[in-house]
Every structure is written in C-alpha cells, then in structure tokens.
Amino acid sequence: MGFFQKPFGNEPILTKDDLKQVVKKKKGPRAADWKSTLLRLWKIVDEQRALLIVVLLLVMISSILALVGPYLIGQMIDNYVMHGELTGLGKGIVLLIGINVLLAVSLFLQNYWMIGIAQQTIYRLRTSVFTHFQRLPIAFFDRRQHGELMSRMTNDIEAVNSTLNSSFIQVFSSVLTLGGTIIIMLSLSPLLTVLTMTIIPIMFWAMRWITRRTAPLFKEQQAAIGALNGMIEETISGQRIVKAFSQEERMKVEFREKSLRLRRTGFWAQTYSGYIPKVMNFLNNMSFTIVAGIGGMLALYGHVSIGVIVIFTEYARQFTRPLNDLANQFNTVLSAIAGAERVFALLDEQPEVETATTQKHHLLGQVAFKHVYFKYEQEEETYTLKNVNFKVEPGQTVALVGATGAGKTTILQLIARFYEVNKGEVLFDGVNVQQMDRQSLRSQMAFVLQDPFLFEASVRENIRYGRLDASDEEIEGAAKRANAHDFIMKLKDGYNTVLAADGREISQGQKQLLSIARALIADPKILLLDEATSSIDTVTEMAIQEALDTLMQGRTSFVIAHRLNTVHNADMVLVMHKGELVEAGPQQKLIESGGLYAQMLHSSSHHLEE
Amino acid sequence: MKEVFSYVRPYKWPAIFALCLMLLELFVELVQPLIMAKIIDEGVRAQNQGMIMQWGAVLIALSFVAFLAGVINSYFSSHTAQSFSYDLRNAMFDKIQSFTLTTYQKFSTASLITRLTNDVTQVQTVLFMSLRIMLRAPLAVIGSIVMAFVVNAKLALFLVIGAPVILIFLIFMVAKGVSYFGRVQKRVDRLNRVLQENLQAIRLVKAYLRGAYEATRFDEVASRLKIDSVKALRVMEYIMPVLLFIMNMSLLAVLWFGTKQIATGTTPLGDIVAIINYAMRMTGSFSMFAFIIIFYARAKASAERMAEVLSIENEVEDTSLSEELGHTMSYGELTFEHVSFTYPGGDAPVLFDVSFQVKSGEKLAIMGATGAGKSTLLQLIPRFYEVTNGRILVEGQDVQHWELQELREIIGYVPQQSLLFTGSIADNVRWGDTQAEMDAVLQVTMQAQIHASVEDFPNGYDTRVGQKGVNLSGGQKQRLSIARALLRKGHILMLDDSTSALDVKTEQSLWEALSEEKATMLVVTQKIRTAKGADRILLIDAGKVVAYGKHEELLQTSTLYKKIAISQQEVEE
C-alpha cells in the first residue's frame, strides 16, 4: 500500500487533516464559492444568449439523432436482418443515411458556434481583467509579482478556456442523452433499467471521494504555476544581474524548487482525476454484466426477446457513457473553477476610489497640502509623510530637495493621486482632490518618472504617448527641444525605429530625453519632474534646460533633482527631511535663514572646493 | 517534436507499464462483446443457464482486473507526464540561463514565459492523456477492426473501406492544425508582452491617462488571439463529423450486405450483431479521436516552440574561449587595448579603439555625453558581450581566456537601473552571496550608507521589497544595489551612474566609505565632483576616447571636459 501513498517519492500534499478541513469548509462557504464562480462565468457566456440557444437546440437534435440511430438498427435487426428481408432493410438504410447526414451537420454547426461563444467569453474575460487592471490603485501592483499576474491572464484563463470549449456541449448533451436513454430503456424493459441504475449511488460516492481531493489540488496547482511564472518573469527581466553576480546555478536551484512544487501538485491532481474514468469504466462493465447475465436469464424464460437484450446492452453503455462524460467534465470544470476563482479574485480587487463627480475641473494650477499624513502599507507604524503643509500658487515652480527616502517622490505621487492620503487633504484650487474626477485631474498633468519606461514601439509612438493626437511635426519639434532629435536621427530608422523590449539600442540618458519629449508634447497644467535628468550629462542637460524652462512657464511645476543647479530658478523650495517638510520658501530666503537647505548647499560647494 | 519528446526517455518504463495496463483494460473491453455473443449463442439460444452464469462470472472478474489496472495506470501515467514536464521545464530554464545577452534579443521575456509554462502544459496534457485514455481510442478502433475480422472477415472489410481516405484526411488536418496552433501560441506571446509592459509601466499609463488607450491596445491583441483560436479550433472541427459520417456509412454497408448473406444462409445472425457492436464501438471512439488530433496538433506546435529554445547551440555563453594562460596576480588590474565594439546585429560601432589602463586599487571615472557608450564599456568587462576588436585584460589575462564564472566572481557590478528582487532587504543584499553572515551584510550596508534607512523601517532588514523594489525610493534602491555588489568583495567594482539619485551629503559619505575598498573602481558618472575624486578620468564621446587623465590635466587639455565642468560649477560656485 505504501506505493499508493508515496508513489515515486511524491509525498502526499493533502493529509487526512487537510481533507477534514476541506470537508468542513465545503459545508460552509465552499460550495457557495463554486456556485458563485460558475454563475459569474455563466453571466459572461450568457451575453450571447441567442447563439447559445441555437447551439442548445442543435445539441438536442444531435442527441436525439444519436439515440434514434442505434434504436433503428435494433429494430432493423429484429424485423429485417433476422428474416433476411432486403426491401424493408433498404428503406431503413435510406432513413439511416438521412439521419447520419443530419447528425454530422448538426454536430458540426453546434461546435462551430460553440467555439465562437467560448472564445468570445474568454476574450471578454481577458479584456475585463485588463480594463480592471487600469482602474486598480498603484498600491495593488506594488504588492504583486508581475509574472504572477500574467499567469492569471494566461494559465488560469487557459484552464477556463479548455473547459468552455468542450465541457459546455458535453455536459448538456450528456444530460439529454442520459434522460433519453433512461426513457427508452424503461420502455424496453423497466426491470433491466432498474438493475442498470443500481450503479448510480456507487458512482456518487466515488465522485465525492475524488473531487474532495482534486478540487483543492487544482487550486494549489494554479497557484504553483503562478508562483513559477512570477519567478521566471523576475529572473529573465533581471538577467543582467543574474549574470553579473553569476547566480545562474542558484537560480536553477530555486527554479527547481518551484518547479517541483508544481510537479507534486500536478501529480496528485492528475492521479486522482485519473481515477474518474476508471471508476466509471468499472461501473460500466458491471452494468454490462448485469444486463448480459440477468438479461440472458430473462431471455431464457422468454421474458424478453434476444433483440431487446442486444439493444439493451447497447443502451446500458449509452447510459453509462454520458455519466462517464459528465464525471470527466466535472473534473475539468473543477480545474476551470480553480482558474476562474483566481481570475475573479482580481476582478474583485477594490478599484481606485471613485469620486462622486465626473465633471471636468479646469485647473488653475494652485496646489496645496493640508496636514497630509501618508503611509504605503496600512500595517506600517511610521508614516512616510508626516503633517505636510504647503501651498503653491498657479504657475510657480517648486523644487523638492532632501535626502533620499525623505518623501519627495511620495509627494509627487500624491499630487498625481496614485495613492490616497491617510489623513489630511490634497487640494487643487482649494478643492479636495477626492472631490475631483481623477481622469480630468490627470489629463491636466504630465509626469516624468524616475525610471523612464519605453514601450516596444517606434520612437515616434513612444513620444506620442504624451498626447495621442500630436502630429508628426509636433513630435519632431518636441524631440528637438528635448535634445533627442540628433540621436534619434542616428538610429536605424530614425523616428520609426522600433525599440526593443529592453531598449538596449538607446542609453538610460537617452530614454530620459525621450520621456522629457513625451512630457513636452503633453501640454499639461501641472508638471511633475521626478529626477527627470538624473542620467543625462550636464552639458546636454544645459541644452535642454531652456526647453524645460519654457515648459515650466505658466504651469505649476514640481521638480525633484539632486543637482542643485536644476533648482536655482525655482520660485519655492520645499526641503524634506524624514517625511517632514522642514523648510519652505524662496531659495534666497532659505539660504539666509541658515537652515538645513543652507547646510546642504554648503556641503556640496564645500566638496567642490576640496 | 523529437527534441522535446526525448525527455520522456528516462520514464520509458513507467510509461510502458502504464501502456500495458491500458492495453489490459482495452483487452477487457474488447472481449466483452465476444462474451456477450457467447452468452447469447451458448446460453440463451441453447437454453443453458449454467453457461450464462459462468460467462457472467468471467465478465465480472475481468471488470475487476480492468479497474485495478486503471487505478495503477493513473499513478504511472501522471508520474510520467509530470516528471517529464518537470525535466523539460528545468532543461529549458537551464538553457535560458546559459543564453548570452544577445540570444535574449531573439525571444522576448514574455515569449520565454509562455514557453516555460503554457507550452509545457500543452505537451504534458497530451502525454498524460495518451498514456491514460487517448491511445485507447486508436487502439480501440484497431482492436475493434481486428476482432471484427476474426468474427467475419468479409463483412469486416466494409468497415475499413473508408480507412485510407480517413488517414490522408487526418494527416492533412494535423499539418494544418500545427501551423494554426503555432500562430495561436504566438498570439499568447504578444498578449503576455502587452500585459508585462503595462505592469511595468503602470505609473506612466496612469500619469498620462492612457488606460483607455492601453485597453484598446490589449483589446487588439486579445481579439487577434480570439480570432486565431477560433480559426484553429474551427478547422479542427471538421474532423469529427467527417469521421462519423464515413464510419456510419460503413456500418450501413455492413448491415445491408450482412442481411444479404443471411438471406443466402452464409452468415449467422450472431456475426452481424457482433460486427455492428464493434462498429458502434468504433464510432464511440471517434469523438475521442477528433480530440486527440486537436490536442496532438496543439502539442506539436508547442513542442516546436520549445525545441526552438532547446536547440540553441552556438549562442550560449562560452565559459572560456581558450585555455587559461595564467594571469599575473595584479589584483584588480584592468586594461583595454584598442577595443572596438558593435552590438550584434547593429551596424554602427558603439565603441571605437578604446584604450586605457586602471592599476590595482585605482579609481577610474568615466564620463561622457548621454549615449556616448559608457554603460556599454562596462558591460564588456564581465563579458556580457564579446568585443569586436582589440582585447580587454583583467589581472593581466584576456577576459576571453578567463573562466566566465571566475571572471564574474571578481567583479562587483552596480547597474544603472537598480533592479531588486522579491524578498526581504537582507535577502536582496545577500543576493550575490547567500551564505554571507549578517555581520558582513551590516558592514556593506553601512558602507553603502543604507544601514540607517533600513533600521528606520519597521521591520528592519526583514522588510519585504515589493515588486522590483517599488516601495523604496530611488536612492534607497541604488544604495541597496551598491551594498549587494560590495558584499561580493570583488577585485573590480563597477558603478554605472549608480549614485544619481543620492543627495550630495549621502553621496559624499558613500565615497568616503568606499575609499577604504581595495578593489579597482570604475565609476560612470555625470558629476565632475565625483570624477575629481578619481585617480583618472576617461572622457568618451560618441564611442571614442577624447580625453584621459587627471582632473586638473583635463581642465587644461580638454575643451569638452571644461565645458562639462563649467556647466556644473555655474551654480555651485
């Protein structure tokens, strides 16, 4: 028996205690979970009701035809074949040919349309997850591995996909066939029918035993694939580091661990679900035997004709086949549920807080923070921002300075409303940001991020990202002002060069130039520059400074820069220290007051004089 | 296909055993109608109750045997399938780890991810299904035909009349399916790619309010995937009705000619009943048969994609291009001799005739305009790419003669974009040396000026780093990434503009702390202030060295350097 518990060294994943818990849970919300998951899936499928009804009708037709065929053959054997009567048989055969043509056509059509329905459902599921992604708060993405999220979109939806393709028709036709077969069997011989049905309770018991194990295993399996996907994405994206630190071997070991987890869950899930057809087969054979043995005896005493027995055995198998199919489908449905649950879990994530109004608010550009407290994780004890207060008038340029980790980027992210404040208010023109429509707000802002990101698209498209209706001339104009034009022209296809996924054709500094061009084209009311020029050499920086200055004119601008010369023409300097705003005011005033800013300035020039 | 399925070989015995068990099951199933005929002919016809009981008992006994065989088969087939896919995944991952950075250009990350998960699943499913049930269908068909021939060869002939047509038809369909499903998998790659891009750029997308735009873009790839999936599946849908139709026609032929023979008295009724029974069995297997063809085509398409990865031979990293020549033990010394470099597939050289030398323990600052080739220069040292011309000597030996592992072990590299991994802060610092003691970790974090910040976190060194370090500030990430490199205690330390997000004070302390390091240092920087602290400065412009020397010298000799200096001192003075 040892082999059955730890075959090939595969330790069982479900212990007896685990199973007990599963059973307990099953009585509670578990069953409801399944139901609601299936129901939600059904809602998407149901969007194509008209086509679905057609498919169901076709399934009905083909199920009936499939039942009529063998019945007719049975009749023909009894009536014509046994007596060698060819004319009757000829008519029967013509009828059967007709039936078979109809059967083939209806089978083809139902599958043809069902594929359409299934793929449309999958497509809807995918796009709704993606659209939902766009509405989720940044904080959601901070906590999750990209690869894991990607797995939900591919591997989990794939599990739903393969089920939808086959199961729907299967389940429906199985139920129909089952019903039909029982009726015909009853009409042939009620006694034999009852005998055949004796296997049903055994079947239910067996199914319960198996699904109690497979359901949690499938879930675990999808989770294991997700974790594996997460790791793959990270290691391949970070391949340069892996190589630089020659950690390939360790990565391989780590991969094996995750891969092994998948193998173990996969093994058990497959083994248990592999039982289903075997049990069904066994029960199938049993019923065959029952019908053959007892039917034979009945025939002996003349209760039934031989023809009836022949046909009945066929029906007995027809009876178990849909049951068998149902059982098999049940299992794939379980794996689909495991996948669907994970997909719906994403859809259930709370989207960014919606505001009551969708009215477009035309910003004048005044920005104020009032007693703002903020932390990234609710569990954290300390706040990243503590009681931050400031007010910036329209058109002013604000420089944020302070040590790394002081909270400068956080302030910009709050202005862009990537996160919601914990306490206090962020105000635009005196209106709380939470009272404003996020879309309208962001449409009037441009953000140049610390890590420039370029899409796998042409240079032109990457700049156009700032404003989708920008003309080619405008794009070139922006690129020229951002000092990017020259290097772009040196690329293989100029503005049409498609940047590779890792953007290796261009340097980090050039990426920053492109993202500045992107901001230049956006024409925002409020401009947020987070270390926008950190990787750009200072000579180039000087060249684009003018462009940035023009850009900042008439717009409220927030600039983070460590090179203090970027700061010099700011109207206001905000000095951050450990999440607190310690000084604020025009540069000259801060220098005179001799506070932290003056010290910082001093230390950098002091260094210079060394 | 062969390439991929060679991974089944280690499990051939379990696989064969599983197949045998399946055959046993199948045998039982095939024998049933025979016994059935016996019960009818010898039992019912001959009014022999004993016979019925006897054959009935045989039937039940056989069923038990089949059941037991089935259960054991389940263990063996899932073992084979899962272990096979486990090995396959690992082999692919190992292969991918050995790729050169150039080879990575061939496959997008997204595509590699699909191949490692989705494609493996496709093949694994097919293997499992074939061991368990799939092969049953073709075998059941063949078995039924054989049995039918045994019962009555003349009548059975009608059953196989359509066979050649079916065979040609199926071969044609498989070929079609493979190309269609190959396209579907490519679409999955695209979908994955758009998704990955969006996850990476989520802030950008939100900042520029491009949610709707991205949704359209995704919609496009998703609907392409849908259209291609529908196309592929619909093409495959022709299989089943065609098979069924041909089969049913054959069955009717049997019925017709069988009846004729009964009329002439040459064939007993039992024969016809049995053959019709077998024929129906065959039709029953056909829906499974259609399934197999679809799955097989899918798996074949996936297997071809995996073989693409596995069969890459010449582009894996060579550990050492020729035998070791024995290096002069000049710790951390680095020499570039007339190095030129063009990216593989690129047309213009990125570096041109670069020569310089950094002595043991010296610090070289590398400056230059955006896109001048600074980062590229650093990447040649650990041999991420091979030089096109000239050579690079590390500790007196050409890097191409170094054992790759050894070479990289003596280099500490801090990339421009500080990439961190999921895990705790301590894990991330230890990333290059998992065995490092906590003391060592503390030492380097102090050196990298990140210790105090880490201590300020509520969970200290156990604080989890979010996806690629999103919960840390730019400067914190850079310093962690420096600490990670320092822990390696390399002979050569390369910092690629890794202090850009640090404030002046922190950076100053960092350089002071690093001055104790005995490693040779290569520092790419934009800041004259940082460069001044170096022993020498290498100024490159458009891939060429335009100035090389000390700060004061360069101020005199290089107009470009002077220009840079002016651009920075303007405010600071």
Q: Do residue A257 and residue A145 come from a single domain?
A: yes
The pLDDT value recorded for residue B183 is: 93
**Nearest-angstrom CA–CA distance, A139 and A116:** 37
**Nearest-angstrom CA–CA distance, A176 and A64:** 8
For chain A, give the percent of residues with pLDDT over 90: 11
| Predicted-complex ipTM score | 0.82
Positive or negative CA dihedral for B271, B274, B278, B284? positive
The pLDDT value recorded for residue B44 is: 61
The pLDDT mean for chain A works out to: 82
End-to-end CA distance of chain A: 80
**Nearest-angstrom CA–CA distance, A450 and B197:** 17
Retrieve residue A357's tokens. Answer: 């109004």
Retrieve residue A86's tokens. Answer: 């060819």
The pLDDT value recorded for residue B255 is: 80
Q: Is A244 exposed, middle or buried (0-12, 13-18, 19+ CB in 10 A)?
A: buried
Q: Is B570 on the interface with A (CB under 8 A)?
A: yes
| Structural domain range at position A400 | 354-444+527-584
Q: Suggest the residue from A51, A75, A270 to mutate for an interface test with chain B (most B CBs closer than 10 A).
A: A270
**Nearest-angstrom CA–CA distance, B354 and B336:** 7
Q: Does residue A77 sit within a domain?
A: yes
Crossing angle of the two packed helices A306-347 and A157-188, in degrees rounded to 10 = 150
The pLDDT value recorded for residue B392 is: 92
Positive or negative CA dihedral for A95, A96, A99, A100? negative
Cβ of B213 within 8 Å of Cβ of A468? The answer is yes
What amino acid is encoded at A276 in this protein?
I
Predicted confidence (pLDDT) at residue A297 exceeds the cutoff of 90: no
Q: Is B229 on the interface with A (CB under 8 A)?
A: yes
E strand or H helix at A239, and its extent? helix A239-244
Q: Do residue A388 and residue A258 come from a single domain?
A: no
Predicted confidence (pLDDT) at residue A608 exceeds the cutoff of 50: no
Q: Do residue A332 and residue A371 come from a single domain?
A: no
CB neighbours (10 Å) of residue A112? 17
Cβ of B113 within 8 Å of Cβ of A313? The answer is no
Q: Is A386 on the interface with B (CB under 8 A)?
A: no
Retrieve residue A502's tokens. Answer: 């890792």
What amino acid is encoded at B356 in this protein?
F
Q: Do residue A185 and residue A255 come from a single domain?
A: yes
Q: Do residue A90 and residue A143 come from a single domain?
A: yes
Residue B117 DSSP label = I
Q: Do residue A499 and residue A539 come from a single domain?
A: no
Q: Suggest the residue from A243, A332, A377 to mutate for an interface test with chain B (most B CBs closer than 10 A).
A: A243
Contact residues, chain B, for A122 at CB < 8 Å: 226, 229
With left for phi above 0 and alpha for psi between -120 and 50, is residue B141 left, alpha or beta? alpha
Q: Which residue of A has its CA nearest to B34?
A: A292
Q: Does residue A391 sit within a domain?
A: yes
Which of A251, A297, A568 lies at the smallest CB-CB distance from B571? Answer: A568
Predicted confidence (pLDDT) at residue A591 exceeds the cutoff of 60: yes
CA distance A27 to chain B (A): 29
Retrieve residue B490's tokens. Answer: 């390399």
Contact residues, chain B, for A260 at CB < 8 Å: 86
Q: Do residue A492 and residue A422 come from a single domain?
A: no
Q: Suggest the residue from B77, B259, B456 to mutate for an interface test with chain A (most A CBs closer than 10 A).
A: B259
Q: How confident is the model at residue A29 (pLDDT cuts 50, 70, 90)?
A: very low
Contact residues, chain B, for A277 at CB < 8 Å: 70, 132-133
Q: Is B36 on the interface with A (CB under 8 A)?
A: yes
CA distance B390 to chain A (A): 22
Which of A266, A286, A289 lies at the smallest CB-CB distance from B82? Answer: A266
From residue A323, alpha-carbon distances to A276, A403, B20 in Å are 11, 70, 26
Per residue in A430-447, pLDDT (tens digit) is 888 888 887 788 888 888
Q: Do residue A393 and residue A504 come from a single domain?
A: no
Q: How confident is the model at residue A467 (pLDDT cuts 50, 70, 90)?
A: confident
Residue B161 DSSP label = T
**Nearest-angstrom CA–CA distance, B234 and B231:** 5
Q: What is the pLDDT along chain B (573 residues), one digit of tens a residue?
A: 678 888 989 999 999 999 898 888 878 877 877 776 776 677 666 667 777 778 878 878 888 888 888 889 888 989 999 999 999 999 999 888 888 877 877 788 888 988 998 899 889 888 888 887 667 777 778 888 888 888 888 888 888 887 788 888 888 988 999 999 999 999 998 898 888 888 888 877 877 777 888 888 899 999 999 999 999 989 888 888 888 888 888 888 888 888 787 777 777 777 887 888 788 777 777 777 777 888 888 899 999 999 988 888 766 666 655 555 555 667 888 999 999 998 877 778 889 999 999 988 889 999 988 888 888 899 899 888 888 899 998 888 888 888 888 888 888 888 888 788 878 889 889 888 888 888 999 999 998 888 988 888 878 888 888 666 666 888 888 899 999 999 888 899 999 888 887 877 788 888 888 888 888 999 998 888 888 888 999 999 888 999 999 888 888 888 888 888 887 764 343
**Nearest-angstrom CA–CA distance, A287 and A284:** 5
Phi and psi dihedrals of A28, rounded to 5?
-85, -120
**Nearest-angstrom CA–CA distance, A13 and A18:** 9
E strand or H helix at A289, and its extent? helix A248-300
Strand partners, A367: A392, A428
Cβ of B132 within 8 Å of Cβ of A151? The answer is no
Residue B77's nearest CA partner among B18, B144, B151, B148 is B18
What amino acid is encoded at B341 in this protein?
F
Strand partners, B547: B539
Which of B124, B471, B567 lies at the smallest CB-CB distance from A538? Answer: B567
Residue owning tokens 């060698």:
A84
Q: Does residue A176 sit within a domain?
A: yes
Q: Is B205 on the interface with A (CB under 8 A)?
A: yes
**Mean of pLDDT values over A75-101:** 82
Q: How confident is the model at residue A504 (pLDDT cuts 50, 70, 90)?
A: low
Among A328, A347, A366, identify where a domain stops. Answer: A347
Q: Which residue of B has its CA nearest to A322?
A: B284
Q: Is B61 on the interface with A (CB under 8 A)?
A: no
Contact residues, chain A, for B508 at CB < 8 Å: 603, 607
The pLDDT value recorded for residue A373 is: 92
The pLDDT value recorded for residue B22 is: 85
Q: Suggest the residue from A3, A77, A154 to mutate for an interface test with chain B (most B CBs closer than 10 A).
A: A154
**Nearest-angstrom CA–CA distance, A602 and A203:** 84
Contact residues, chain B, for A116 at CB < 8 Å: 230
Contact A23/A213 with Cβ under 8 angstroms?
no
Q: Is B369 on the interface with A (CB under 8 A)?
A: yes
Among A505, A523, A541, identify where a domain stops. Answer: A523
From residue B322, alpha-carbon distances to A1, B334, B389, B400, B533 in Å are 56, 20, 17, 7, 38
Contact B98/A248 with Cβ under 8 angstroms?
yes
Residue A569 DSSP label = T
Window B:69-98, CB contacts with A under 8 Å: 70-71, 73-75, 77-79, 81-83, 85-86, 89-90, 93-94, 96-98
Window A:15-34, CB contacts with B under 8 Å: none
Q: Do residue A180 and residue A308 come from a single domain?
A: yes
**Mean of pLDDT values over A231-251:** 82
Domain B334-572 has CATH 3.40.50.300: yes
CB neighbours (10 Å) of residue B435? 6
Q: Does residue A298 sit within a domain?
A: yes
Cβ of B467 within 8 Å of Cβ of A376? The answer is no
Give A149 or A566, the one with higher predicted confidence: A149
Q: Does residue A465 sit within a domain?
A: yes
Sequence-separated (6 or more) residues with CB below 8 Å from residue B408: A243, A244, A245, A246, B382, B383
Q: Does residue A486 sit within a domain?
A: yes
- B2-310: CATH, from 1.10.3720.10, 1.20.1560.10, 3.30.930.10, 1.10.10.10: 1.20.1560.10
Residue A343's nearest CA partner among A115, A171, A122 is A122
Would you kindly state where each structural domain of chain B is located, as residue ranges? 2-310, 334-572
Cβ of B94 within 8 Å of Cβ of A150? The answer is no
State the count of interchain CB pairs (< 8 A) between A and B.
535
Contact A587/A567 with Cβ under 8 angstroms?
yes
DSSP one-letter string for A358-421: ---------EEEEEEEE-SSTT-SS-SEEEEEEEE-TT-EEEEEESTTSSHHHHHHHHTTSS--
Among A471, A491, A523, identify where a domain stops. Answer: A523
Predicted confidence (pLDDT) at residue A32 exceeds the cutoff of 60: no
What amino acid is encoded at B20 in this protein?
C
**Nearest-angstrom CA–CA distance, A39 and A55:** 19
The pLDDT value recorded for residue B457 is: 81
Contact B498/A558 with Cβ under 8 angstroms?
no
Contact residues, chain B, for A485 at CB < 8 Å: none
End-to-end CA distance of chain B: 69
Q: Is A198 on the interface with B (CB under 8 A)?
A: no
Q: Do residue A339 and residue A398 come from a single domain?
A: no
Q: Does residue A152 sit within a domain?
A: yes
Sequence-separated (6 or more) residues with CB below 8 Å from residue B141: B282, B285, B286, B289
CA distance B337 to chain A (A): 22
CA distance B38 to chain A (A): 10
Cβ of A236 within 8 Å of Cβ of B96? The answer is yes
Residue owning tokens 């050039």:
A510
Which of B93, B259, B505 lies at the smallest CB-CB distance from A403? Answer: B505
Q: Do residue A185 and residue A325 come from a single domain?
A: yes
The pLDDT value recorded for residue B228 is: 93
From residue B336, alpha-carbon distances to A77, A338, B137, B357, B547 in Å are 93, 57, 67, 6, 15
CA distance A402 to chain B (A): 7
**Nearest-angstrom CA–CA distance, A218 and B237:** 28
Cβ of B192 within 8 Å of Cβ of A252? The answer is no
Cβ of B209 within 8 Å of Cβ of A442? The answer is yes
Contact A428/B531 with Cβ under 8 angstroms?
no
Q: Is A230 on the interface with B (CB under 8 A)?
A: yes
Residue A173's nearest CA partner among A256, A259, A92, A63 is A63
Collapse the DSSP code of A117 into the 3-class scheme (helix H, G, I; strand E, B; otherwise coil) and give the result: helix
CA angle A401/A402/A407 to nearest 5° reads 100
Q: Suggest the residue from A110, A136, A150 to mutate for an interface test with chain B (most B CBs closer than 10 A).
A: A150
CA angle B12/B16/B17 to nearest 5° reads 120
**Nearest-angstrom CA–CA distance, A151 and A342:** 10
Phi and psi dihedrals of A399, rounded to 5?
-105, 130
Q: Does residue A488 sit within a domain?
A: yes
With left for phi above 0 and alpha for psi between -120 and 50, is residue B332 left, alpha or beta? left
Which of B215, B229, B384 lies at the smallest CB-CB distance from A240? Answer: B384
Q: Which residue of A has its CA nearest to B203?
A: A138
The pLDDT value recorded for residue B364 is: 92
Retrieve residue A95's tokens. Answer: 């009828």
Contact A465/B208 with Cβ under 8 angstroms?
yes
**Count of domains observed in chain A:** 3
Contact residues, chain B, for A534 at CB < 8 Å: 474, 500-501
Q: Is B248 on the interface with A (CB under 8 A)?
A: yes
Question: In CATH, what number is assigned to the domain containing residue A519?
Answer: 3.40.50.300
**Nearest-angstrom CA–CA distance, B14 and B75:** 9
Predicted confidence (pLDDT) at residue A548 exceeds the cutoff of 90: no
**Nearest-angstrom CA–CA distance, B39 and B32:** 10
Q: Do residue A301 and residue A424 come from a single domain?
A: no
Window B:483-542, CB contacts with A under 8 Å: 484, 488, 497, 500-506, 508, 526-529, 532
